[in-house]
Amino acid sequence: MSRKAGASGMAVKRALWSKRIGQWEGSGQTQRAFCAKRGLALSTFQWWRTRLNGSAAERGRKAGRKAAVSFVPVALGGGALGGGGSVHIELACGTRMRVEGEAALHAIDVLLGTRP
């Protein structure tokens, strides 16, 4: 295969994965659910996403600033986590965190600045 043919093949793959990632961003689904529904390997999806977009932290470093962080408001009623409930948080970069019971309520209060 010539170098030119290899480059055009890579351009086609880049365009395909860029389209898929755009579809995922607009889908409201987790990466795992999006990939499962379409028969895509999650690891391949994540590899292309990182290759095409880079991580938020990496983009921030390149721009000389910290990565943007945003929160989605969540209303918890009294006793929402009673009885062994848990809070699951998934960041845009794919990092996941699970906090259970009263510790979850405390962590949320601290993150939101409502408790020292």
The answer to the question of residue 37 being in a domain is yes
Number of structural domains (the chain) is 2
The answer to the question of residue 58 being in a domain is no
Q: Quick one: 48 and 74 in the same domain?
A: no
How many Cα atoms are found within 13 Å in the side-chain-facing hemisphere of 101?
Answer: 3
Helices (H), 1-116: 3-27, 31-38, 42-53, 56-63, 101-112
Mean pLDDT within 3-9: 69
Domain span holding position 9: 3-53
What is the C-alpha separation between 57 and 34, in angstroms, rounded?
23
Mean pLDDT within 85-108: 75
Q: Quick one: 33 and 70 in the same domain?
A: no
pLDDT in tens, 12-54: 998 999 899 989 988 988 999 999 999 999 999 999 988 887 6
- Global pTM reads 0.45
